[in-house]
Each structure stands twice: as C-alpha cells, then as structure tokens.
Amino acid sequence: MANRSFKIKVICKVLEATKVWFNKKLQLDVAYKDRNLVLDYAGVPLLLRLETKDSAPNSVAYFITEHDWTPKPDTVGRGECDIKAFVWMNVSSCLCIVSTDGDYLPLSLLQMCGKECEVVLFRMTTQINCVAPAKRKLAGSQEHSCITAEAPQAAGSVMHKSTHRRRKYEYVRIAPIAAWIKTVLQSKAIDPVRQFCAMVALCGCDFARNLPRLGPRTLWKMRNRIQHSDLLQVHQAVGALSIAYTELFVTKNGMPDGMSNSMLWFQSTSEEQVRAIYNDVSTRIQRNDKVSPRIKLQLWGVDSAMAHARNAVWTMHYWSFLEHCPDPHAADFGYVRDAKGRTHFAAACSSNLPAD
C-alpha cells in the first residue's frame, strides 16, 4: 500500500473490527475470560480484557502502565511492526511472531541474546534442498511440493499443516538456530551469531542494497575465508568483501595483495589500507579478460563498498537496539538526504571504476 493515508484507514478499520470481535469473545466464550488482547499501533498500547471484581493483578496491564511509551527525540521510533514486537518479550515466556519478513530472523537472534523469553517465527515453510516446480501445471497433474521432510527439522522448526493447497507453514524456533550457527560458523573475531547477522545485513535487507554478484549463499560458502574479520567494523567488512571478490573473479583460494588473513591484520589495519586493497582488487577484475563487461559494470567502486558497509553497521544497531538505535543521519552510516529531505544510499551512483 503505497498510499499512506489509505493504509492508515485500513489499519484503523482492522483495529476496530478486532476490538468488536474480541469483546464479543470475552462475553460469550468462557475460554477467553482470562485472555488479554493488546493492540499496539500508535502511542500507548490498548489492553482489552475481562475486568471483574475478582480479577487478579495483571502483568501485562502493569507493564503497559509502568512502561514509558513517550517517543524519544534521539531515536528512530518504534515503527509499525518489525521492532515493535520485541518489547513484549518483557512479559512473555514465549513470543510467537507471524511474519514473512526475512529481517525477523536476525532481529530475533539478536534480541534473544541473554533473555529468557523464547522466540518462535510462524512463517511460510523455508524451501531447502528442493527442486523448483515447473512453471506450467499440466492438466490432470498433481500439485508439486518442493519441501523436503528433513528441511524443517534441520532448521530447528516444527511443521504446521495448512489447509491451503499450495502453501505450507512452519514454526521456526530461534534458539536451536542460534546454537546451530555457533557450531558451523567459525568466527574468530566476534560472537558467531552477531557475525551471522552482520553477514545477513551485508548481503542486503530493508536498509542495505544487495551486493553485486555476491549473494548470501555464495558468501555463506566463503564463511571460513572471512572468519578472522569483524563485520561490525566498516573497514574490516570491506576487507572481507575484497577477499570474496578475489575468490570469485581473480584467484581461487588466493588473497588480495597486501592482506594477511589473520585477526591481527584485520584489527591493526587502517581504512586507508583497506581502501587501497579493494581498489587493487577492483582494478585486477577490470583488467581480467575472463570477466564479462556486464559483470565489470555491475561491481562497485570503493566508495560504494564503504558506504554499503556503513549501511550494514547501522542495520546491526537497528536490529540490536531497536527504537534506541542512533539516527541514521546522526553519523556517517552511509545515508544521505537530497534537497527534498528524502534519504538515499550514499555513493549509490558511484562508478564501478576504482576511486582515486
């Protein structure tokens, strides 16, 4: 819904219909007499529950009363959905989020760190190790399911059967996924879960562009090649990209000139050194006759790569600190405003040629 005014009217209509439905349930269905419904849209959340003289003290009502819901001038706001869900971890033993937004996986991984509340995502089944269905269905043929029986269990999820013919849904438990990441991601510089989330941000999300010619599956295959880098540091992230692009387009299992793949090198190197290394890798790719002109045009110059790494760092702040994250324009996080105040990715139009 690009029309914001219309979208707000739809939201208000849904809220009113939901209130009518729940109040009716409270009056007529005994199974609902001890249930709470919180409508958290704008301002202070609205709590609906059956109030009686014998009602016990309610932790949700207390939380809403005691929590400061006043918007903070130095924060980005709680948003309409994505980061708003996690405030309810404070009064939940298990938080189930219904969403198809991929950002909820890194958000949930980061928000569960050090907290007792478990997070579960209810979403369309992840397609793992499957064969894509044919584009056209032949007359009389059966539905093709590209979901394997093993995939949900491997991802720490539990299947839920849907009445829909084409779609299947699953419950994805975040805790087993976090435990699995720590066993397969050999991150030497920072916690593997944080490194994984930084990789997700670096590959592209709502707040960062997709890397040219380097998708999440390819970067994941290279995870051991960049295990000594801290992707939360801008220059180290660009150093990791230099390794990845060298692997893809220059030399298999090679290293960029002037780089040592060790934690000591990544921690002691400067931004100027990394810029020079990325420029050198870019130059070698441009001079490589085996790389097609189309690919050469798609690859970023160093200014775009640095801006992108800053976008990923801000995204990690957002996923970690939610509404308490810094304003994306408060520092150099790789975003710029145009004359009309609209936000754009910095260096988005930079040439693929190396910067001076």
What pLDDT is attached to residue 167?
81
Q: To the nearest 10°, the Cα dihedral for 98, 101, 103, 104?
A: 10
Residue 94 inside a domain? The answer is no
**Average pLDDT for residues 69-86, to the nearest whole number?**
81
User: Residue 54 above 60 pLDDT?
Assistant: yes
**Average pLDDT for residues 260-287, to the nearest whole number?**
96
What pLDDT is attached to residue 153?
47
Q: Which domain holds residue 205?
A: 187-356
Residue 206 inside a domain? The answer is yes
Mean of all residue pLDDT scores within the chain:
86
What domain count does the chain have? 1
Helix (H, G, I), strand (E, B) or coil at 169: strand
Residue 164 inside a domain? The answer is no
Residue 27 inside a domain? The answer is no
Q: Which of 25-29, 58-62, 128-132 has the lowest mean pLDDT?
A: 128-132
Residue 227 inside a domain? The answer is yes
Q: Report the residue count for the chain.
A: 356
Residue 42 inside a domain? The answer is no
58 pLDDT band (50/70/90 cuts)? Answer: confident
Burial 158-187 (b: 16+ CB within 10 A, else e): eeeeeeeeeebbbebbbeebbeebeeebeb
Residue 9 inside a domain? The answer is no
Per-residue pLDDT tens digits for 296-327 = 999 999 999 999 999 999 999 999 999 899 99
Amino acid letter for position 63: F
Reported for 159-162, long-range contacts at CB under 8 A and 24+ positions apart, including other chains, are 159/125, 160/122
